[in-house]
Amino acid sequence: MEGWEPTTVYEYDEQGRLVRSTPEPEWTDQQLALMLALDEYEASLCRRCGHLLEETTRPEHDYNNPLATAVYMPAPGMPMQCHCCAALERSEQQTNAQNPQHPGAILHAVQLVPRR
C-alpha cells in the first residue's frame, strides 16, 4: 500500500559469479498472522447480515423458540430503502434484456445528480 517492494540479496564467489540470490519474503510472520486472523474472523460472520454466527445461530435467539431469551427483530425505522441501490436495480432491470444469457455480467453504475 506504500509501494513496498521486496529486496533480493545477491551473493557472488571470488571470481564475481553469482552463486546465490535470496529474495526477502513478501510477508512477515506478523503480517501473515494478521491476515490469517482476519480470514478466520470473516469466516465467523454471517455472509448476509455480517453478525457473528456464534451469536446469531444460538437456539436461545431463535424467533420461533418459545423459550428464547432474546430474539432478533427489525431495528426501529427499518426497513428503509437505499435510493442508490434502487437506481442500480432499475438499471439492471432495464438492461437485462440486452444480455439474457449473462445479465450479471453487465456492469452498472449510478451517480447522484441534481434534479432538473
Helix or strand or coil: residue 61?
Answer: helix
- pLDDT tens for 52-100 read 999 999 999 999 999 999 999 888 988 888 899 999 999 988 888 777 7
How confident is the model at residue 1, as a pLDDT? 57
Using alpha carbons, select from 32, 29, 11 the residue that is nearest to residue 20. Answer: 11
Would you place residue 106 in the very low, low, confident or very high pLDDT band (cuts 50, 70, 90)?
confident
Max Cα separation, the chain?
A: 83
pTM tops 0.75, yes or no = no
